[in-house]
DNA sequence: GCGGACTGCTTACCT
DNA sequence: ACAGGTAAGCAGTCCGCG
């Protein structure tokens, strides 16, 4: 019965429609609708009515000159298209009057030019309203995006030629000319990607859910103590975060291409070799492997799961068409590196085989590959994102490869191949290929579909389509929600160069050479073992500072005379007392919502598990955004780049922690260590902690609380290097070499043994025995090294990421680069980002890729030195010496 | 010509 | 394409030294 209504909402890719090839389009439409006859041949209308559906994507249709919104209807699990019907057009702003603009021929006669409108907007840099002219055009490319002849270039180029007769000294300026048109549309219409909409009589309406609205009322009530303006923001954030997520019907796709030289990856732009295998692994339990029949290939007898469908194709073209059917069927398609390889290869290969462009359901872009029907998520891009890697997945994976990410997150690794694709039997190939799409799919399934939901939540926060949010970095997410709010409040979005000209200067000196301003304070640790250590910290210190101190590009160094007394400690900068900065409000409300609602709800055992998991995902997404919210102001690539804002934030942070340090001393508490936003207190009593918290709240207007208590902590004399054992026996290791992921497992294993032993220590008296055991662990590892006892040479390998392309190392040649160069000579393709594994050898150049090395060339002394330095970081704090531990051994072995 | 002191480069980590 | 601060190891350079 759902089928019938589907016909009404005919799902159609209008983008592919053109005069020459209407028929092929219709057939793909029929495939989607599942109806062979009766489909319209002319341009079908957008659905007149559509039940509640998720806004998952937006783009611009160059043929229709309209914004296209893709809606995912969760009942039918299909994508429906909605085209703008409001007549919204692209535009930008200028300070020139229409009268002046009339004189610019290239503008007036531009084929895309439509008309002018006069508008008044608030200019946040001047803190007053300004009159601007809105230049409305028919096509986004008229404003920008082409190499020349666009409005954003014409105006500054041509105005000086006429300005004399205009008797105007003003500089010609253009604003908001670099915003993607579909984003502009989303902001103006106040649409929220990721949220639920319905279509009624052809119009798009947001859907309200009563249940969710009730929760939002609860949240508002929980924030009765703060200003109305802030509650408004909290409410709108909460709405974006509380609305439920759908089930995502999706399929992971992976392809294998025949390659004559097995070490060389085929070029997806040339697509010279046949696609020999494609696997599909979907949320509706389809496991398919499509294989190309080739001469002389064995059937093979590798075991495959019983529910796998193997499909053989005589012609490659048919295989590709079958894959395209998959791309037209699933609303969400997952790949790992599909932008650069799988989808790109498929598209080019299809054209090469004579398939018409209109029949290829892939939109090939410069850097991305999107789909005509659904949403393509390239998980490589998503997992590559540093913020996602660190804050959402806690640095669990190191190397952004399907193998490493799969191993770390779902415990499934790629199948190792001994031979090239050309020599594999069908079943070997199928097994290999299917594993890849299996991992790809499961990466989005694990932890209650964390990856999909994160993308959804981030799309809501940032007002971006799911495709964009999964591919772009945190600074884009932040920029976009700030742009959105500028538009919503009728604020002119400033040009980066104008912010910089007015507020680009920093006034402090960084400790690190080449940095722009001074950062955080790290307190010198007190070396040794300390029992009962309380760690107090400011939750989200920098976002709190931005909130409390009203920081933002508009408020710092504001134009008002009376604000100049409101100086930021440790800087000559002042901050506005008259007007609230937008960033302060946005980041502040997000911070409060996370700390005071989502973090609590994520831990609330009284909630059903499913809801709790959603809250946990949400607070994680907020963490990612908040953690970056200060840094972006110091990043030149950020559109609202404003170095004094970042500098002020750090300066206030230093001020805050210094004040606390003084207060702690005054209260007679010994501070063992501190870093940026934390202080480690030795054996404090409850009253001291309470007083410190009370004082901070009162004096600094920021909260501080006990984050954790270590049964004991071990400090060396090094900053950012310590070890703490929690009450439950968990061992926190920070910064120590033994934790770093590049060190050989051989050394790491010994370190972990020590860690386990330390976890058992409960009080000072138990320490003595533990010390002996630890000495034994070290000694044992040392002796085994001396005797050259190891199971596998790979246990001795160092693993270092190649940060640059090989040829770019011109200043020095680090060891991993030497190893990489040797690999390259051996025909292995090496690229930036690759993880290089090497062992230290006796002979020049003292390194060798582990793949090429043998046991007897290992330089034992180098490993002993490494073992020593790794352990000394802990041993000296325990009052043990590596040399003594080993010296004893020498004596013992001498005595036999 | 050699070795120690030093600086700079690179990576991995902490907040 | 978020920031600055810290540690470690190695590469490369400078300087003194019969």
- Contact (Cβ atoms closer than 8 angstroms) between residue A660 and residue A681: no
Percent of chain A as helix, strand, coil, to the nearest 5: 45, 20, 35
CA of A828 to C1' of C18 (A): 51
Per the listing, tokens 């500028």 go with A486
Nearest nt by C1' to A514 Cα: C4
pLDDT level of residue A682 (50, 70, 90 thresholds): very high
* Strand C contact with A688 (CB < 7 A): no
Is the pLDDT at A424 greater than 60? The verdict is yes
CA of A864 to C1' of B1 (A): 30
* pLDDT for A707: 94
User: At residue A130, what are phi and psi to the nearest 5 degrees?
Assistant: -130, 155
Is the pLDDT at A31 greater than 50? The verdict is no
- Mean pLDDT, to the nearest integer, of A181-193? 98
- Mean pLDDT, to the nearest integer, of A387-395? 88
pLDDT level of residue A157 (50, 70, 90 thresholds): confident
CA of A873 to C1' of B13 (A): 15
Of A124-133, A159-168, A325-334, A629-638, which range is least confident?
A: A159-168
User: By C-alpha distance, which of A254, A256, A296, A252 is closest to A275?
Assistant: A256
Nearest nt by C1' to A517 Cα: C4
* Strand B contact with A675 (CB < 7 A): yes
- Residue A845 preceded by cis peptide, ω within 30: yes
Is the pLDDT at A391 greater than 90? The verdict is no
A280 SS3 class: strand
Is the pLDDT at A833 greater than 90? The verdict is no
* pLDDT for A164: 65
* pLDDT for A889: 52
* Strand B contact with A805 (CB < 7 A): no
- Residue A323 CA to its chain's centroid (Å): 29
Nearest nt by C1' to A522 Cα: C5
Residue A731 tokens, joined = 């061992």
Question: Residues 370-389 of A near strand C (Cβ < 7 Å)?
Answer: 385-387
| Per-residue model confidence as pLDDT tens digits over A249-263 | 999 999 999 988 766
* pLDDT for A790: 85
Of A75-84, A354-363, A438-447, A883-892, which range is least confident?
A: A883-892
User: By C-alpha distance, which of A421, A327, A408 is closest to A374?
Assistant: A327
* Strand C contact with A841 (CB < 7 A): no
* Strand B contact with A818 (CB < 7 A): no
pLDDT level of residue A43 (50, 70, 90 thresholds): very low
CA of A138 to C1' of B9 (A): 52
* pLDDT for A17: 28
Is the pLDDT at A22 greater than 60? The verdict is no
Instruction: Note the strand C nucleotides within 7 A of protein beta carbons.
Output: 1-12
* pLDDT for A10: 28
Q: How far is CA A321 from CA A368, A439, A763, A880, in A?
A: 21, 24, 69, 68
Is the pLDDT at A864 greater than 60? The verdict is yes
Max CA separation in chain A (angstroms)? 102
* Strand B contact with A227 (CB < 7 A): no
| Per-residue model confidence as pLDDT tens digits over A486-496 | 999 999 999 99
- Contact (Cβ atoms closer than 8 angstroms) between residue A302 and residue A406: no
Residue with nearest Cα to nucleotide C11 C1': A812
Alpha helices in A674-791 (DSSP H): 686-700, 745-759, 764-786
* Strand C contact with A719 (CB < 7 A): yes
Is the pLDDT at A159 greater than 50? The verdict is yes
DSSP letter string, A292-315: E--TT---------TTEEEEEESS
pLDDT level of residue A828 (50, 70, 90 thresholds): confident
CB-CB neighbours of A720 under 10 Å? 11
* pLDDT for A885: 85
* Strand B contact with A485 (CB < 7 A): no
* pLDDT for A884: 83
Is the pLDDT at A361 greater than 80? The verdict is yes
Share of chain A above pLDDT 70, in %: 93
| Per-residue model confidence as pLDDT tens digits over A264-291 | 789 999 999 999 999 999 999 999 999 9
* Strand B contact with A509 (CB < 7 A): no
Strand order in the sheet with A50-61: A78-83, A66-73, A50-61, A196-200, A203-206
Q: How far is CA A636 from CA A145, A183, A323, A553, A645, in A?
A: 21, 22, 43, 13, 13
- Mean pLDDT, to the nearest integer, of A592-611? 93
* pLDDT for A28: 34
* Strand C contact with A734 (CB < 7 A): no
Nearest nt by C1' to A537 Cα: B15
- Contact (Cβ atoms closer than 8 angstroms) between residue A534 and residue A684: yes
Instruction: Note the strand B nucleotides within 7 A of protein beta carbons.
Output: 8-15
* Strand B contact with A10 (CB < 7 A): no
User: At residue A188, what are phi and psi to the nearest 5 degrees?
Assistant: -65, -40
CA distance linking residue A138 with residue A880, whole number of Å: 76
Residue with nearest Cα to nucleotide C3 C1': A631
User: At residue A146, what are phi and psi to the nearest 5 degrees?
Assistant: -110, 160
- Mean pLDDT, to the nearest integer, of A601-624? 92
* Averaged pLDDT of chain A: 90
CA of A395 to C1' of B10 (A): 20
Top pLDDT among A130 and A893 is at A130
* pLDDT for A888: 55
CA of A845 to C1' of B8 (A): 21
| Per-residue model confidence as pLDDT tens digits over A695-741 | 999 999 999 999 999 999 999 999 999 999 999 999 999 999 999 98
What kind and span of H or E run contains A132?
strand A128-137
* pLDDT for A855: 84
Nearest nt by C1' to A381 Cα: C1
């Amino acid at each position: 019965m759902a089928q019938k209504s589907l016909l009404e909402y005919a799902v159609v890719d209008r983008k592919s429609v053109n005069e020459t090839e209407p028929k092929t389009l219709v057939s793909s439409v029929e495939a989607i609708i599942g109806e062979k006859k009766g489909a319209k041949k002319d341009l079908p209308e957008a659905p007149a009515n559509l039940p509640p559906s998720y806004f998952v994507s937006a783009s611009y249709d160059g043929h229709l000159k309209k914004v296209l919104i893709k809606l995912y209807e969760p009942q039918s699990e299909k994508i429906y298209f909605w085209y703008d019907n409001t007549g919204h057009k692209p535009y930008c702003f200028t300070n020139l009057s229409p009268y002046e603009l009339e004189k610019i021929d290239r503008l007036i006669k531009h084929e895309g030019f439509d008309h002018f409108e006069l508008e008044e907007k608030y200019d946040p840099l001047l803190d007053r309203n300004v009159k601007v002219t809105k230049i409305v055009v028919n096509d986004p490319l008229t404003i920008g995006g082409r190499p020349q002849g666009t409005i954003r270039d014409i105006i500054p180029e041509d105005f000086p030629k006429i300005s004399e007769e205009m008797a105007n000294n003003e500089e010609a300026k253009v604003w908001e000319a670099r915003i993607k048109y579909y984003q502009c549309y989303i902001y103006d219409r106040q649409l929220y990607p990721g949220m639920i909409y319905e279509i009624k009589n052809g119009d798009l309406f947001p859907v309200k859910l009563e249940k969710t609205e009730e929760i939002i009322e609860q949240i508002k009530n929980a924030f009765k103590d703060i200003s109305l303006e802030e509650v408004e923001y909290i409410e709108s954030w909460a709405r974006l975060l509380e609305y439920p997520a759908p089930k995502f019907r999706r399929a992971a796709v992976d392809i294998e291409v025949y390659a004559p030289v097995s070490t060389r990856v085929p070029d997806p732009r040339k697509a010279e070799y046949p696609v020999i295998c494609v696997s599909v692994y979907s949320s509706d339990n389809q496991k398919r492997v499509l294989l190309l029949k080739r001469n002389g290939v064995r059937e093979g007898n590798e075991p495959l799961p019983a529910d796998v469908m193997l499909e053989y194709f005589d012609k490659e073209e048919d295989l590709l068409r079958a894959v395209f059917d998959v791309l037209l069927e699933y609303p969400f398609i997952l790949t790992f590196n599909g932008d650069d390889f799988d989808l790109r290869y498929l598209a080019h290969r299809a054209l090469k085989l004579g398939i018409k462009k209109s029949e290829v359901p892939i939109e090939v872009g410069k850097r991305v590959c999107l789909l005509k029907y659904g949403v393509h998520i390239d998980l490589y891009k998503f997992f590559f994102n540093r913020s996602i890697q660190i804050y959402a997945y806690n640095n669990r994976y190191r190397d952004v490869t399907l193998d490493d990410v799969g191993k770390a997150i779902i415990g499934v690794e790629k199948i190792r191949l001994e031979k090239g694709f050309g020599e594999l039997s069908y079943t070997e190939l199928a097994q290999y290929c299917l594993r890849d799409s299996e991992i790809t799919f499961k990466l989005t399934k694990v932890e209650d579909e964390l990856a999909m939901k994160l993308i959804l939540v981030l799309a809501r926060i940032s007002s971006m389509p799911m495709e964009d949010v999964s591919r772009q970095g945190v600074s884009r997410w932040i920029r976009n929600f700030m742009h959105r709010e500028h538009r919503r409040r009728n604020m002119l979005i400033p040009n980066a160069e104008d912010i910089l000209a007015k507020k680009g200067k920093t006034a402090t000196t960084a400790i690190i050479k080449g940095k722009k301003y001074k950062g955080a304070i790290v307190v010198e640790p007190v070396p040794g073992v300390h029992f009962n250590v309380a760690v107090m910290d400011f939750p989200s210190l920098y976002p709190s500072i931005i909130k409390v101190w009203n920081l933002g590009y508009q408020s710092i160094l504001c134009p008002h005379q009376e604000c100049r007394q409101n100086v930021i400690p440790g800087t000559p900068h002042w901050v506005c007392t008259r007007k609230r900065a937008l960033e302060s409000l946005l980041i502040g409300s997000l911070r409060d919502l996370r700390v005071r609602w989502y973090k609590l709800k994520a831990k609330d055992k009284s909630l059903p598990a499913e809801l709790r998991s959603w809250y946990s995902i949400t607070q994680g997404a907020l963490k990612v955004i908040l953690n970056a919210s200060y840094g972006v102001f110091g990043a030149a690539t950020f559109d609202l780049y404003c170095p004094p804002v970042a500098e002020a934030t750090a300066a206030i942070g230093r001020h805050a922690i210094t004040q606390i340090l003084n207060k702690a001393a005054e209260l007679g508490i010994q501070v063992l260590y501190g870093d940026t936003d934390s202080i480690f207190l030795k054996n404090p009593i409850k009253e001291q902690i309470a007083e410190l918290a009370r004082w901070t709240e009162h004096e600094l207007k920021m909260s501080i609380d006990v984050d954790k208590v270590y049964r004991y902590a071990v400090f060396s004399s090094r900053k950012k290097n310590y070890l703490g054992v929690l009450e439950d026996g968990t061992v926190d290791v920070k910064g120590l070499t033994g934790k770093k992921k590049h060190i050989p497992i051989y050394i790491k294993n010994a370190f972990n043994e020590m860690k386990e032993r330390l976890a058992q220590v409960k009080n000072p008296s138990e320490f003595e025995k533990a010390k002996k055991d630890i000495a034994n662990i070290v000694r044992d590892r040392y002796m085994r090294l001396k005797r050259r006892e190891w199971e596998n040479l790979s246990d001795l390998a160092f693993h270092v990421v190649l940060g640059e392309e090989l040829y770019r190392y011109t200043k020095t040649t680090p060891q991993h680069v030497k190893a990489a160069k040797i690999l390259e000579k051996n025909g292995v393709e090496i690229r930036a980002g690759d993880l290089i594994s090497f062992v230290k050898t006796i002979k020049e150049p003292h390194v060798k890729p582990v793949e090429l090395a043998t046991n007897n060339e290992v330089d034992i002394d180098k490993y002993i030195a490494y073992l020593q330095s790794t352990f000394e970081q802990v041993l000296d704090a325990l009052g043990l010496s590596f040399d003594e531990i080993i010296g004893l051994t020498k004596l013992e072995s001498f005595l036999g």
